Amino acid sequence: MENSRTSDRDRGLVFNLQRFSLHDGNGIRTIVFMKGCPLHCLWCSNPESQNRCEELSIKTMRCIRCGTCEAVCRQQAIRLTGDTATVDRSRCIACGTCVEHCNAGALSMLGQWMTVDEVFEQVIADKAFYESSQGGVTFSGGEPLMQAAFLKQALLRFREAGISTVVETCGYASREDLESIRSLTDTFFYDVKLIDAEAHKRFTGVTNELILSNLAYLQESGSEILVRMPLIPGVNDSEENLAATGRFLKETGLPEIQLLPYHSYGASKYPTIGRSYTFQSHSPSAEEMERAKAMIAGYGVKVKI
Ligand code: SF4
Ligand code: SF4
């Protein structure tokens, strides 16, 4: 819960704590999903992670049109229209009053301010599972480095407790912020989406010079890194991009990359926050994954799929 006596350094905006994950690092892990991201990838499967603020979510299928939310909202930000309630996001101040009064469970607030202690206490509850599986905690998002001061304090706390840490990052962060957490992080999962800067900007909203130079910096600093790339047909599966990716990894001295097949599982989340999922691609076939693997591997880089 938000506490005005704590500083930003001690509080983070978290939108989910996912226990017993087996996919974001070694062993059994708890994933701390931080809210806020400097990129806006068109295919994002966690759209609720992008804005660094609390957001009202509505599951229209659950709405029974009781009208309570409209009655209690002092901002006149939520109204019954057609089959459901709809939110005027330019008016909503995310006060949460309507959430408290919606008995149908149609409304929820995305994002909760938590102190380092609160995150630590929830994560440490599964310490026995981490110990038996060589697991730990993974900070994901969104982009955890958007809340670098909080992240640093949290990583310090887990380091002192002997818990393994992974930070999943898009790499778009100041060198100063990256440096502040580098030595406190056991492993970085580092996303590389596209090598061409202009295409990167078109699909994610930002260019990639900072991302690639930060990756090279981490490599030179001796950090443990797993580079990952979502393979997205029509975005980054061209011969040109795969060759450029292989070349970049080789020249930077990064021995390995993991390719993750694109999926559209996050599409249904977009309408709950008043957005539409307009991105179009398809999940790559086994043949498309193998082709991409072979192309990058041709540069002497190990490729996991
Ligand atoms: S309070 Fe909940 S169920 Fe009632 S109209 Fe609002 S969103 Fe729908
Ligand atoms: S969160 Fe607050 S401002 Fe937003 S719709 Fe609900 S009651 Fe209104």
At 125-159, the pLDDT tens digits run: 999 999 999 999 999 999 999 999 999 999 999 99
Q: Say how far apart CA 150 and CA 112 lie, in whole Å.
A: 14
Q: In the predicted model, what is the mean pLDDT of the chain?
A: 95
Q: Please list the residues that pair with 140 across neighbouring strands.
A: 33
Instruction: For residues 98 and 223, state if they share a domain.
Output: no
Helices (H), 6-82: 68-72
170 domain-assigned: yes
Closest by alpha carbon to 277, among 269, 285, 286, 267?
A: 267
Dist. CA 8 → ligand 2 center (Å): 24
From ligand 2's centre to the CA of 15, what distance in Å? 18
Give the model's pLDDT for residue 7.
55
Q: Are residues 22 and 151 in the same domain?
A: yes
- In this structure, are 222 and 263 located in the same domain? yes
Question: Residue 79 belongs to a domain with what CATH number?
Answer: 3.30.70.20
- Looking at the structure, tell me whether residues 159 and 46 fall in a common domain: yes
Please check whether residues 27 and 163 belong to one and the same domain: yes
Q: Whose CA is nearest to atom 2 of ligand 1?
A: 102
Write the single-letter amino acid at 106: A
Residues 13, 132: one domain? yes
- At 143, which CATH number? 3.20.20.70
Same structural domain for residues 126 and 244? yes
| Nearest ligand 1 atom to alpha carbon 84 | 8
Which atom number of ligand 2 is nearest to the Cα of residue 94?
A: 1
Q: Is 69 in the pocket of ligand 1 (CB under 6 A)?
A: yes
Asked whether residue 192 falls in the same domain as residue 157, the answer is yes
What was the pLDDT predicted at 82?
84
The count of other CB atoms within 10 Å of the CB of residue 285 is 11
Backbone angles phi, psi at 302, to 5 degrees: -75, 135
Q: How far apart, in whole angstroms, are the C-alpha atoms of residue 143 and residue 148? A: 9
Residue 3 inside a domain? The answer is no
- Number of structural domains (the chain) is 2
DSSP label at residue 52? S
User: Could you tell me the pLDDT band of residue 5, with boundaries at 50, 70 and 90?
Assistant: very low
With a 6 Å cutoff on the Cβ, whether 106 touches ligand 2 is no
R_g over Cα of the chain: 21
Residue 56 Cα: closest atom of ligand 2: 1
State the alpha helices, DSSP H only, in the chain. 68-72, 97-101, 116-124, 127-133, 148-160, 175-182, 197-204, 209-220, 239-252, 286-297
Q: Using a 6 Å cutoff on CB, does residue 104 contact ligand 1?
A: yes
- What pairs with residue 101 in β-bridges? none
pLDDT tens digits, residue range 189-219? 999 999 999 999 999 999 999 999 999 999 9
Query: In 3D, which of 118, 115, 120, 114 has the Cα closest to residue 157?
Result: 120
pLDDT of residue 1: 41
Q: Is the pLDDT of residue 4 over 80?
A: no
pLDDT digits (tens, 9 = 90+) for 42-90: 999 999 999 999 999 999 999 999 999 999 999 999 999 888 899 999 9
Q: Does residue 10 have a pLDDT over 90?
A: no
Q: Report, as an integer, the average pLDDT of 76-105.
A: 95
Q: Are residues 181 and 36 in the same domain?
A: yes
- Given a cut of 50, whether residue 184 has pLDDT beyond it is yes
Enumerate the β-bridge partners of residue 58.
Answer: 107
Q: Is residue 230 part of a domain?
A: yes
* Residue 23 pLDDT class (50, 70, 90 cuts): confident
98 CA: nearest ligand 1 atom: 1
Q: Is 87 in the pocket of ligand 2 (CB under 6 A)?
A: yes
Residues 246 and 301 sit within 8 Å (Cβ to Cβ): yes
Closest-CA residue, ligand 1 atom 8, reads: 63
* 223 in a structural domain: yes
Distance in Å, CA 86 to ligand 2 centroid = 11
End of a domain among 110, 126, 157?
110
Is residue 160 within 8 A of residue 167, CB to CB? The reply is no
Q: Please tell me the residue having the least CA distance from ligand 2 atom 6.
A: 98
> Residue 101 is part of which domain span?
55-110
Best residue for ligand 2 mutational test, from 79, 91, 97 (most atoms within 8 Å of Cβ) = 97
In a domain, 294, yes or no: yes
Query: Final residue of a domain: which of 68, 83, 110?
Result: 110
Closest Cα to residue 83, out of 109, 62, 55?
62
- Cβ–ligand 1 distance for 71 under 6 Å, the answer no
**Residue 239 and residue 155 in one domain:** yes
Name the residue with tokens 């995150």.
Answer: 119
